[in-house]
Amino acid sequence: VAFNSEETKMVITHNYSNKEKKEGVRYLALYLSEKDQEGEWKELEAFPHDVKNSNTGHGCFSPDGNTLYFVSDRDGGKGRTDYYSNFEFGEWQKPVNLEIANTVGEEMFPYVSDENILYFASNGHLGLGGLDIFMVDLNTQQMEPVNLGGGINSPADDFGFIVDDKGENGYLSSDRDNFVDKIYSWERKSPKIGLNGYVYAAYKPKEPLKNQRVVLYSNNKSDSTILHTNEKGYFETSLDERSEER
């Protein structure tokens, strides 16, 4: 199950009903619901682009709720492939193959963070073994998925990655412990980056400027940090890896 950011819409992966069941095989499909004016969930409705005799599942919404990402093994893809569908003109549009993520292997469990970063599990991209978790920045023209590396990934299957709105904490599923699927929590601990330098009046001769103000601006220049040089024109500080200061 996945919800939009307002928690007014949800998408779930569900078996087809018995009446839709092919003999001996039960396929997966996406179903949607939204809250009514009383805050109650309406009856589930089938996603209009489910395909009989193919699996469609693992749905998740974009931050604005207008794009639905999912996986499917329907004809026309490379493998068990990622797709997305945009909600336009009051209906979900024809699914589009998410080329940047797809391989001939398996891509599963997509999740899009509040920062519009797509996380997914794959055994088709170069990884540490089994399913690995990768990320794609949907805000840029990034050409290749990035492996999240050791710690998050292991030689076993790692999947079902989610992250909080700050990108610092979350959960994932893994069978790294005796090949039994378990849920793990994770926390990002960013290293500190040392920043230091000298301020001179001129290169020849190098005349240090004492008590000189040094200003570090954030990317959007809405915030700043002010430092001052010492008697030798030297300054130093430390920055978080994820700091916006420049």
Residue 23 has pLDDT above 60, yes or no: yes
DSSP alpha helix (H) spans, 122-230:
none
25: DSSP letter: B
pLDDT at 26: 83
Q: Tokens at residue 231, please?
A: 């008697």
Task: Tell me the sheet residues that pair with 213.
Answer: 228
The greatest distance separating any two alpha carbons of the chain, rounded to the nearest whole angstrom, comes to 88
Are 9 and 47 in contact, with CB atoms under 8 Å apart?
no
203: DSSP letter: T
Using CB atoms within 10 A of its CB, is residue 161 exposed (0-12), middle (13-18) or buried (19+)? buried
pLDDT digits (tens, 9 = 90+) for 66-84: 999 999 999 887 767 889 9
Q: Tokens at residue 8, please?
A: 């007014």
pLDDT digits (tens, 9 = 90+) for 179-230: 899 999 999 887 788 899 999 987 767 789 999 999 988 765 566 789 999 9
Q: Name the one residue in this structure whose structure tokens are 């999912």.
A: 70
pLDDT at 35: 96
Task: Tell me, rounded to whole angstroms, the distance of Cα 124 from its chain centroid.
Answer: 18
Q: Name the one residue in this structure whose structure tokens are 């639905």.
A: 68
Task: Tell me the sheet residues that pair with 153.
Answer: 150
pLDDT at 222: 63
pLDDT > 70 in the chain, percent: 91
pLDDT at 166: 84
Going by C-alpha positions, the residue among 50, 30, 33 that lies closest to residue 42 is 33
Residue 21 has pLDDT above 60, yes or no: no
Residue 245 has pLDDT above 60, yes or no: no
